[in-house]
Amino acid sequence: MAPRPPTASTTGRRRLFGTDGVRGVANIDLDVPLVLDLARAAGELIGGGAVVVGRDTRRSGDMLAAGLQAGFHSVGVDTLDAGIIPVGGVSFLIPEVGARLGVMVSASHNPAPDNGVKFFDATGAKLDDEREAEIEGRLREGEPWKAPTGAGVGVAQAIPDATDRYVAAISEDAGGSLEGLRLALDCANGAASTAAPELFASLGADVVSHFDSPDGLNINEACGATTPRYLAEVAGGRLGLSFDGDADRLMVVDEDGRVANGDVILAVIARHLKECGELPGNRVVTTVMSNLGFRKAMHEAGIQLTETRVGDRYVMEAMLAEGAVLGGEQSGHVIQLDRARTGDGLRTALRLLDVMTATGRTLADLRHEALVEFPQVLENVRVRSKDLEGADRVWEAVRAAERELGDEGRVLVRASGTEPVVRVMVEAPTMAVATHVAQRLTEVVADQLA
């Protein structure tokens, strides 16, 4: 019997890869036949070797990880199961164990019913668009899969100490003890639930942990990096570190109870690295979402900015092209190429804490010096169509808003790469103005696309 071709449900689907892998509702958009075929396609392209597989705490993670492993085994690729681990752990383990590829089963900050698949190359970096297109192209060919037999079939092996190895590696980068720091952690009931408390406590910090009891359904539920306000309420004067489901994002609550997003984190770290002569080219890479205040602050500090479209993979590509070691997104993804090959919330938190201990200053003090943020409003408009190219009335409204704000504000309207929404972002001198302009724009977007 000839090897079976990709399933009809797979070959007939719309484009699979978005800005952060393949994502959708588990068992509906992202089902076992799809992940089986994704693994077969990726496995055939690497032609052998081993793949590290990790996941976050979602109930569907076991099912989808098992489907991926079966797919890899069926085309002769071994799998190394890292279990529940932050996405930075998968990235770290790939070169550590000599794997050819890595896969993280996670929908990051999305709710529990969603899940996703993120692929990483042999260096631990996310696959670029070209290699994702190769996987999708092979999947859609409809040709029978490679079907080895006997000793040619891949096998699974667990990495029982995966999280311990990952935490130990991060600890080696610490600038010193964290003794004296009082931390409150929000682990999002996700992949950081074990690793984050273990890391910071091992370095001497006084740690209180919240949302560290995952049950498969409570990941990101009223917690995590997308809703850090709860942590601000319970931190009790401690510095708050808030991660998302797979712990690639970090949001921080400073000692005054104010949320510090990726712009603040980047600004504080960038200024410190520049002062220490450790910021090559005095350059930072960011995205179009970065706050106008961040842009002005970097200019005043003599730090050059390279801007990319939204997505940490595009930040990484620009960093490699520009020779930069620091880049990231307002959403809390921060990449430090002198320490890792992908965004890693735990590593970001440690770097920020190192700046605090090295300078002897609080984050509240450091952020006040680093930048003054413009009031910003971000609205997500759920739409039937994300086709903004032909949305003439939307762009007319955008141009009118830009004329109104002039140099003292900014407007950005873009389609989400992971959800059926259009994001409307407005920055202005006051929150009232930003809110008014954003409301006007969201009404136009909803009227034309919803």
State yes or no: is 213 an active-site residue.
no
pLDDT tens for each residue of 432-446? 999 999 999 999 999
What is the predicted pLDDT for the residue at 375? 93
The residue from 108, 209, 242, 290 that is catalytic is 108
Tokens of 172: 């080696």
For 216-246, b where at least 16 C-beta lie within 10 A, e where not — what string?
A: eebbbeebbbbbbebbbeebeebbbbbbbbb
What is the predicted pLDDT for the residue at 4? 63
Phi and psi, residue 96, nearest 5°: -60, -40
What is the predicted pLDDT for the residue at 407? 87
Average pLDDT over residues 9-17: 68
Please check whether residue 243 is in contact with residue 250, taking contact to mean a CB–CB distance below 8 angstroms: yes
pLDDT tens for each residue of 227-281? 998 898 888 889 999 999 999 999 999 999 999 999 999 999 999 999 999 999 9
Q: Kindly report the CA angle at 233 between 230 and 238, in degrees rounded to 5?
A: 110
Phi and psi, residue 50, nearest 5°: -130, 155
Average pLDDT over residues 379-402: 93
Question: What's the rounded Cα separation, in Å, for the pair 423 and 390?
Answer: 16
Please check whether residue 251 is in contact with residue 242, taking contact to mean a CB–CB distance below 8 angstroms: yes
Tokens of 419: 């959800």
Average pLDDT over residues 31-43: 97
What is the predicted pLDDT for the residue at 8? 46
Average pLDDT over residues 37-55: 97
pLDDT tens for each residue of 68-121? 999 999 999 999 999 999 999 999 999 999 999 999 999 999 999 999 999 999
CA end-to-end span of the chain, whole Å? 48
What is the predicted pLDDT for the residue at 41? 97
In the chain, the percentage of residues whose pLDDT exceeds 70 is 97
What is the predicted pLDDT for the residue at 420? 87
What is the predicted pLDDT for the residue at 12? 56
As a whole number, the mean pLDDT across the chain is 94
What is the predicted pLDDT for the residue at 142? 81
Give 137 or 416, the one with higher predicted confidence.
Answer: 137
What is the predicted pLDDT for the residue at 1? 44
| β-bridge mates for residue 209, sequence order | 185
